[in-house]
Amino acid sequence: MTSERAAIRLQTIRSVPEYNTMNRVGSLDFSTTSSTPPLTEDGKINYEKGEFYTNPPVATCSRKQAVFIIGLILATLLTCSLIIAFVRPSHCGHVEEGLDFHEDVAVTPPPEAIATNGEPFPWNDVRLPDFIVPLRYSVVLHPNLTTLFLRGQMEVVFAVQKETNFIVFHGKDVTLTVVMVKDKNMREIMTTRTLYYPYHQQIYIELKNYLMPGNNYSLALRYEGMVRTDLEGLYISSYKSPGGVKRYLVTTHFQPTSARSAFPCWDEPNYKARFKIGVVRQRNYVALSNMPLDNTEDVSIFWGSGLVQDNFHESVPMSTYLVALVVCDYGRIHEVTKTGVTLSIYAPPHMTSQADFALKAAVKLFDYFQSFFGFSYPLPKLDLISMPDFAAGAMENWGLAVFRESALLMDNNTTSSSAKQRVVLILAHELAHQWYGNLVTMKWWDDLWLSEGFASFAEYIGVHHIFPEWAMMDQFLHSNTMPALRTDALSTSHAVSVTVSDPIEIEAIFDTISYSKGASIFYMLQRVLGEEIMRRGLMLYLERHQFGNANMDDLWQALSLGTLNSSHPVPVKDMMDTWTHQLGYPLVTLRRHGNMIHASQKHFLLVNSSLHSVNSSHKWHVPLSFTTSAAPNIESQIWMRDPLSLRASDINFEIPMNVSWIKANVNASGYYRVNYEPAIWQSLIRVLANQPTTFSPADRAQLIDDAFTLAWAGMLNVTVPLTLSQYLVNETEYLPWSTALYHLRKLDTVLSIRTARRSLHCFVRHLVTPLYSIMGWTTKVPHIQSLLQRELLEAAVYFGLSSAVNEARRLFTQWMSGQVQLPPDIRDIVYSTGIKYGGWTEWDYCWQRYKETNVPDERLNFLRALAASNDPWILQQYLDFAMERNSIRVQDIRKVVESVAQNPVGSLLVWRQLQTRWNMIEVTFGRASFTIGRLILAAVSHFHDPLDLKSVQTFFRNVNVGSGKRSLMQSLELIQANINFLNKNDRQLEQWLNRNSPRC
């Protein structure tokens, strides 16, 4: 969107008419005022000369007074010195017991419940009253793509369960022009007043007569609003045709609480209803919604010349956040599934050829999930549509799922293996939702994890089914379990089932915990129950609650019934409550006494905090699995719980005396970390050094991840993970390498200005050289090998392996001169290297290529690569381009910020940019956006200096970050963890690396 277009839209927004009748709500003025010094005519501050140039009166005192004052000062200084001597902290820069990261975050109390007209708002609860239940909506929308004006009319039929003389529902940024309530006999019930409370986004209608329980009524509304520009609700987007013409379209994104900005409604997931959607459009556009088109009628006489209205079939019962509408001029490709469901992909006409791979994969996934869930898809069609601007990766709207272009479209000639895998995983996630999440929906957002966590688990099951050679369940560990464990090690984490109320709190839990931790505990549960029992329980759950809502206890009950006929019934609820109601996870520590192993558990935290004393009492039902040297291929499992009380507890178990090693948490299927006494760690390190394939790739990766993380928390000597990682010279699998390189890059970040950094680079180059010599830049390798090759080449270039850097620069030069076409799997590495070692010419060449390409994955390649420059001026221009939306879409700002922040040259530039442009960021994304938190994490969480920590604390102390509050607290905690790690290990790291790194 150009700045000129934005200005036109701003003027249009300001022109929304004000409410001025009993049935209208007063318009809102969100303008703010600030206090400034008086200015002169030329704009300078007008200070009165007398304040600066008039001599002030001179203070005088007697000799006695002077002696008394001096004595008082000396006594005060002595007292202060004594206080400082006895109460000063023992470790400067180190977090102390009792520190609470919540204290560093500004909290804004909710305003008084006053309606926009100044009257008290009678309903002072963020949740709607439960005695009015919507049954069916009929909604007609007319979004004007030229003026961005939105007009709508609707009728909702609702049931009353308790006598009442008022109705409360949601509405955001809408102007009601007509309000009419009727009984079942179509007799009008007069309204006495209409109030609007923006803070809770609620509208209150008071009636002259009471509505009686057991009866149905209807509410008819006409309203006005605006087509939004912030990627929420019903908003405008655009793309450019091959001829450079900008084409506009309208789309929706209602999850979690934005349906209310497109039409007034009961915008809570438990209020499922049927929807009959109509949309007024221009004749040369096409409209799509959840259901197939019913009919099209000419409505020029009502809505304007040349307009038609598309009416869609009435939907099945569903939640408001799943309603969807798109008006566009896209092309379409489609196939029919085994059960006769038409599955289509919509994209700009010149990009439909890039949807072929996704369509074939989607049909296979659809057929698999229909069989897996044992329940027929209840709609006649499923449309998948690519969107140029979309805040999330994708959205599972029932029958009309919306995707970012990069999550759906790909070019076989330019798209990498990792990008293809990403497309299929996102497809699988949204298709799994068509049953789990749409057919059965959580009752309230505190169980968001129930929907998103399961879909994040199911996507790997689905992709593993259609691409078994991709080793997806091993990759699950790297993509879900490990990221979840990192976030959940913070005292500022949250339980997967967490109390939320307002839109800001709801938006904040669309995070790693809800998605990846949720997925990880589902994976752990499946390993305990077995795949078949898990599947039967899921089928029972869907059958019992189809077209309705459920909570996690409903799921645990269905899964428990599946275990009744098994030889070992599992108390699913007792087990899972310990994983869902407590934040964090256990650290299981193994100690050996002869042939006995003592396994203890405690809440693992990366940094001590004031919450530690509370959380130290947490215990979990841990399905502790292990193997030993006596039977390396046999997995044993024992529950960490008291056999009499069934409470979670520490345990003792026996192993043979001749066992030389024991390895717990087999294949990292459990959601916990494991520590060992030093002798056991040394035995495991010896096995890795001499016979690494004794352990599976997942086990090797888990040992690396646990060792580095425990060292970061100060629970393990830092030389243990470094010594363990020396075996990597013989490693040839993707999962251990990707895990190790994550930690080595993190170590490089905190050592950025330390003397040990050079030795670290030498050490990593030594590790990667053997495998680099074998793999090189040859790209015709199997899928999982291509992922390994990418990790290896990125590390070789990043840590300065000269042969890799020289080859990447040579390829970049040849590509830039048009001599070669770069293979998809290595092109972004070559781009980054060319820009890193080049100057403005190389950077601008890639910038122009970014603006020209219409391949979504290629655009992402360039966005990441453009952040690799070593020139601070270039990086500053890049950040300015992003923030000013110069050819960079709003949805991609976070990608630019993250990429520049990961560049040591750009790290502080990003932080300064965030501070100076904070107001713009708030306006662009809004406080109720998950993007705010992710920007904060990207910009500051890698800091490792006390001064940087103080800078972040100071800036945000009086800033309301909205849904980014938890991310800010987590960033502060991560910075403190980095500081603690360096305070403890800096000297030891330098000594070990100097001794164990080859000269380079």
Which positions are annotated as active-site residues?
A: 430
Question: Cα–Cα distance between 627 and 633 in angstroms, integer?
Answer: 7
* Cβ–Cβ under 8 Å, residues 542 and 439: yes
Please answer whether residues 351 and 409 qualify as being in contact, where contact means their C-beta atoms are separated by less than 8 angstroms.
yes
Distance CA 177, CA 203 (A): 13
For residues 158-173, one letter each, b for 16 or more C-beta atoms within 10 angstroms of the residue's C-beta and e for the rest, the string is bebeeebebbbbbbbb
Helix (H) or strand (E) holding 394: strand 394-395
Grouping H, G, I as helix, E, B as strand and the rest as coil, residue 463 is helix
**For the stretch 467-485, what's the b/e string if a residue is b when 16 or more beta carbons lie within 10 angstroms of its beta carbon?**
beebbbbbbbbbbbbbbbb
The count of residues in the chain is 1000
Contact call for residues 369 and 431 (beta carbons, < 8 A) = yes
Q: Give Cβ neighbours of residue 755 (< 8 Å, ≥ 6 apart).
A: 990
- Find residue 639's DSSP bridge partners: 623
Question: With contact defined as beta carbons under 8 Å apart, do 550 and 440 qualify?
Answer: yes
Q: Which DSSP string do the residues of 478-506 spell out, in sequence order?
A: IIIIHHHHHHHTSTT---SS----SHHHH
Which has the closest alpha carbon to 712: 676, 750, 677?
750
Q: Residue 291 CA to chain centroid, in angstroms?
A: 29
Q: Return the closest-CA partner of residue 232 out of 834, 933, 764, 931.
A: 931
Peptide linkage before 569 cis (omega within 30 of 0): no
**640 — phi, psi (to 5°)?**
-90, 80
Backbone torsions φ then ψ of 764, nearest 5 degrees: -70, -40
Give CA–CA dist 474/737, Å, rounded. 13
CA distances from 326 to 65, 286, 288, 291, 300 (A): 82, 8, 5, 12, 20
- Residues contacting residue 77 through CB under 8 Å, at least 6 positions apart: none
What is the C-alpha end-to-end distance of the chain, expressed in Å? 50
What is the C-alpha to C-alpha distance for residues 534 and 551, in angstroms, rounded to an integer? 17
